[in-house]
Structure 1
Amino acid sequence: MIQERFENITLAYQRSIGPYGQHNRHFMENFKQTLDREQLLDDQSVIFGIALDDPTRVAAEKLRYDLGLVLRRGQSTSLETRTLEDGLYAVFEVPHTEADILSFWKDLPVLTQGLPADWRRPIIERYAAPMIARHLCEMCVPLIRPL
């Protein structure tokens, strides 16, 4: 785990409303097809997955999940854009498999024990093309103060 500060990140994004899980996999495939059509995907692309609601508090059919491509300088898009809130994150490297990602979410209470986690902000799944090429992704847990 490392610590990283996110600053000035603008996302071209789409939102899905409905149950997390298998639905998100299809949403990701459709999102990447949209990015391909707009010629935004390349070997340096970074996609964020952001679960905006706690499934223990929000009904499955109302859960919001954003997928966003980090826009680099000079990139434009017809998609809606939003700015990610600046802040510190603890970054966990996770094998890019469905089983390992599910395991991360299941083990989250243990993995974050003792961390100054900021549970008011969402955890971000980061899918950076160079990491995906190595079969890895990252889970970014927001922090209230440095480690």
Structure 2
Amino acid sequence: MPLEIRQLPAMRLAYMRQTGPYGPALTQLWERFGQWCSDRGLSEPRPKYYGISHDNPACTPPEQCRYDACVQIGVGLRTGTEALVQDFAGGDYACMQFTGTGPEMGAAWAGMTAPGQIPAGWELAARPAIEVYDEHFAVNLLTGAFPCWLCLAVQRAP
């Protein structure tokens, strides 16, 4: 099934970064970030959360892979020393709905770049991939599965 092209908006994001292999450490990052958001009143009403993968683990040594757990914020929020702020430029992304576990996510990302997956007229762009966790996001406690959108940066092919 071809990916869906979506326009993601430019946003100001508060984030915490994990540098190291993608995997179980990201669960701990999200738990720490979720508590930080809750302590600052950023969890109610429930916002969208974003996970930004800055590096492709197929090309980058695992210990150098960078991942940001993010939430959109306004201009006046002071993050303190635990979190930083970045401006996300937004743009065009080839996206697919994912439901599965953390260990299954790597194969889903890899499958997105298989021949025929990126819609005709589009090509990958040199911007980070992003996960979008909608407001109704929840982890199934029995299976560990969760829903999110996986989004690869794209641009119009020449």
TM tier, smaller = 0.7 to 0.9
TM-fit CA distance, 1:37: 1.1
The equivalences for 1:27-42 within 5 A come to: 27-42=29-44
Structure 2 unaligned runs (5+)? 141-145
For residue 71 of structure 2, the aligned residue among 57, 69, 72 is 69
Determine which structure has the larger helix proportion and give its number: 1
Give the whole-Å Cα distance in 2 for the aligned partners of 1:118 and 1:145.
9
Larger Rg: 2
TM-fit CA distance, 1:111: 7.3
1:13 alignment partner in structure 2: 15
TM-score normalised by length of structure 2: 0.77
1:85 alignment partner in structure 2: 89
Aligned-residue CA RMSD (Å): 2.6
Give the whole-Å Cα distance in 2 for the aligned partners of 1:124 and 1:61.
20
Aligned-residue sequence identity (percent) comes to 23
8 Å contact kept, 1:117–1:141? no
TM-score normalised by length of structure 1: 0.82
Count of residues in Structure 1 that have an aligned counterpart in Structure 2: 145
Deviations along 1:46-88, whole A, 9 cap, x unmatched?
11111111222222111111111022x5772413211112311
**After TM superposition, where is structure 1 displaced by more than 6 Å over at least 4 residues in a row?**
none
* More moved, 94-103 vs 39-48: 94-103
Matched position secondary structure for 1:130: coil
8 Å contact kept, 1:96–1:132? no
